[in-house]
Amino acid sequence: MPCYNEEVTIGKVVRDFRAALPDAAIYVYDNNSTDRTAEIAAAPDIVAKVLEGYDMVIGDRLSSTYFQENKRPFHNFGNRLVRGSINHLFRAHVTDIMTGYRAFSFTFVKTYPVLSRGFEVETEMTIHSLNNNLRLYEMPIQYRDRPEGSVSKLDTVGDGIRVMSTIFRMIREYKPLPFFGGLGLIIGIVGIVLCGTVTFEFAKTGVVTHFPTLIGAVMLVIAGLLLIIAGIILDVMAKNDRKTFVLDTNKIAYNKRH
């Protein structure tokens, strides 16, 4: 299907062809269009994956031309940092977490609580999907950098801080045991080390000369234990929330069919 700068009409034409020839492979040749023809023409493919049963389909820029086209090194570094952090914490293999080109299922839309107001919303969507075992599909898309004279609306530092804050908040909420347990373990170890120094001094001299250190060390150990216990309790609650989420999504799917 040859065309040139047909962003207004190409979407309907592709949909009409797909309706008339549902089993056909449709190829759109945009002849290096300067508008959004290629992006709009690709939309039916990303929607088709949702219709196949995926809850969120992600337009993956990083597997194609992103790092060649994007001339902003801090953006590239930020993408790698966020991707590595989330994939490590949630044991996932998502390639492009920061992309805004996505399609969603009915279930995703009805169960996703929008809490972010800015650029960090993509991160929140991805973590929501990974935490609740929703079906993700990544579809490589072509990325082209902004043309000369076009200014990005992104604030590298400000948006980066908001994204990392979102990750921090969602780890605290979705992974409470590693978060609070790890924090409690660190604090507890510091307290034990301080207790050890006081105990060593007492064993050597028979006198405790650093009572404030001893009291502070005991308080740190207690605080560490409380954080670990809190992490265990919150982890149980988070697992129950995930069970409730699964039941709710099953109800949504059932009601949609009936």
The whole-number pLDDT of residue 163 equals 81
- pTM across the whole model: 0.66
Domain boundaries, the chain: 53-174, 176-257
The whole-number pLDDT of residue 227 equals 96
**What sign does the CA torsion over 72, 94, 56, 168 have?**
negative
Q: Strands of 102-104's sheet, edge to edge?
A: 102-104, 56-60, 136-140
Stretches where the chain sits below pLDDT 50 are: none
Q: With beta carbons less than 8 A apart as the criterion, state whether 194 and 152 touch.
A: no
The whole-number pLDDT of residue 191 equals 94
Maximum CA extent, the chain: 92
The whole-number pLDDT of residue 190 equals 95
The whole-number pLDDT of residue 118 equals 77
Show the tokens assigned to 253: 């799917």
Residue type, 118: G
Tell me the backbone φ, ψ of residue 60, rounded to 5 degrees.
-85, 110
